[in-house]
Amino acid sequence: IPTSLNITSQLQVVPTQTDCILPCSFNVGNEVVIHWIRKLGDIQVHSYYYDKDQLGLQNPRYEGRTSLYPEQLGRGNASLRLSNVSVEDEGRYQCYTSTVNGNKETYIQLKVYGTKTFKHWILFTLSCI
């Protein structure tokens, strides 16, 4: 069983009332587990395991607003699409992924601006191994 943990942090800035993609990748392998969690209060945003979305514990504020890209899971893409973003969605998000080939944590700091006219996306990556 691999014991290494890869941690990545990113900052994403998006306008309100748009859709955004919170990026996350993982080591391809069997038994894929994906948990998207908003860290303030450990709010369950989206989960995937047993080869399907598991939304039974999803926080109601995210209901109908989250999706993964199932056709890209086999390529290690666990990015989350969050629809109709609001200022209330601001915060730190954790993408936890696990397969038989190891675990990875990605942290996204989401900043939301109150106008749709702000069109810049800022992304910076810091990788620690």
What dotted CATH number matches 5-119?
2.60.40.10
Helix (H) or strand (E) holding 105: strand 102-113
- Residue 26 CB: number of other CB atoms within 10 A? 25
Residue 93: pLDDT band (50, 70, 90) is very high
Handedness of CA 123, 104, 40, 51 (dihedral sign): positive
- Burial of residue 118 (CB within 10 Å: 0-12, 13-18, 19+) is middle
Joined tokens for residue 71:
């056709």
List, edge to edge, every strand of the sheet that includes 52-53: 52-53, 43-49, 33-38, 91-99, 102-113, 5-15, 123-128
Whole-number percent of the chain with pLDDT over 90: 71
- What per-residue confidence (pLDDT) applies to 119? 45
pTM: 0.80
